[in-house]
Structure 1
């Protein structure tokens, strides 16, 4: 029964594949491969989580989180065609800061069924915002060549021109977060809240957990955009000099 539902749900992937092919958008191959990859990864995850949630020693979290960070950085490098280390530093620093704050404030504990899913959620969102930031910065640098040349012509610091682009990139990368904050609870019904309600939790408790996740996402996305733009601009500035 579950397998047949999964098979039928693949129709939802076939539709955008057909649209991409028909309109010659050129992303049908990537969508198809990534859809199958997601199915495989989630299937494997279902078996692995049973093992991970039995971990007693938090030191085992280090290789698990490190693997997540390396894999996310690899995807970011592939997506943005920019330095692996820039992605790794940006995503790692953002994740470490947010996880440290949440543990220190006892928002989450070091229990595996709390720490590991939250760490994955943080790293995944950090990856998304990082790639959006870098893509926007690359576009700004391409479109604003005249602005950069003007700054150089008047003897201004090149960082001033980069600063303007950094602000625009961060604003653009945070658009999904701002949309989420404006629509959640009105248009978007959070998955965690729905799941907890279906599991029998009280509405207040379900909403409180979702609020924590939302505020966490605001922070992680902001840090990712800030660190990503900083390392990108620093690298470009060093190459220019």
Structure 2
């Protein structure tokens, strides 16, 4: 490969024709999404441009403090998004469990991945740390968001089944086992499905980016495999922590269901 094709400004602008096409479709169909489409397109553009300049600075001024600050911002924003995505009001205790699960699950997976699997040096190298952290945190955020929805919906819709099991002598853990398992299954299913179609149905963004930048397809594949396994582990760990700790917030100290008090 001779080199990377450097996109000119007019080429980037020409890609916005796809936004115009979408606006035309929703307008013609009477779907009130024009404002959201425009805002999301503008936000995406501004955020990515700012991110590009910030990354250039971080890459040229490698510092552990900068890396830690960026990761902290990512975690805070991801946790906030989980709260915002929830269609039901979350209790303070459940929010605390979400935060703990996200921070512990993603950071432990990230540290293991970078220090053991990739073995970067120094450990805070932003060129590896930040992009990989973004992928792990982003996918874990989606996983927990799905887990929250299924857990809350399950505890609400199957409340009487849980109460019946409790009256028959079952512990809270046994009474909600099916709900917890369903929440975990729903949360990890998108990651599993993406792995099934990867390489045949579609080429993932990271791999495509590496190939376009001139990296050998074999090297790109090696990185993509390890990244996907890292994502799988991070999602699984964060979600299992959440569902195993989260269901307890629906019970009081006497193992009584307290959904009505939420």
CA contact (8 A) 2:211 2:217 kept: yes
Tell whether 2:59 aligns with 1:53: yes
Unaligned runs of 5+ in 2: 1-9
Tell whether 2:158 aligns with 1:130: no
Q: Deviations over 1:110-148 (max 9, x none)?
A: 321111111111111111101000001112112212211
SS at match of 2:236: helix
Which position in structure 2 is the counterpart of 1:92? Answer: 103
Q: CA deviation at 1:13?
A: 4.6
CA contact (8 A) 2:75 2:137 kept: yes
Which position in structure 2 is the counterpart of 1:233? Answer: 247
Q: What does residue range 37-76 of structure 1 map to in structure 2 within 5 Å?
A: 37-76=43-82
SS at match of 1:63: helix
Q: CA deviation at 1:202?
A: 2.2
Select the residue among 175, 183, 186 that pairs with 1:172: 186
CA distance in 1, matches of 2:246, 2:28: 34
Tell whether 2:22 aligns with 1:8: no
Q: CA deviation at 1:178?
A: 1.4
CA contact (8 A) 1:126 1:224 kept: yes
CA distance in 2, matches of 1:153, 1:5: 65
CA distance in 1, matches of 2:38, 2:143: 23
Q: What TM-score, normalized to structure 2? A: 0.81
Q: How much is the aligned-residue C-alpha RMSD, in angstroms?
A: 2.4
CA contact (8 A) 1:21 1:28 kept: no
Select the residue among 116, 126, 142 that pairs with 1:112: 126
SS at match of 2:218: helix
CA distance in 2, matches of 1:76, 1:19: 33
Query: Which shifted more, 213-222 or 74-83?
Result: 74-83
The alignment covers a number of residue pairs equal to 238
Q: CA deviation at 1:2?
A: 3.8
Q: Deviations over 1:190-211 (max 9, x none)?
A: 2222222233322221110110
CA contact (8 A) 1:86 1:228 kept: yes
SS at match of 2:170: coil
Instruction: Answer with 1 or 2: which has the greater Rg.
Output: 2
Q: What does residue range 140-179 of structure 1 map to in structure 2 within 5 Å?
A: 140-179=154-193
Q: What TM-score, normalized to structure 1? A: 0.87
Select the residue among 236, 244, 253 that pairs with 1:222: 236
Unaligned runs of 5+ in 1: none
SS at match of 2:199: coil
More helix by share: 1
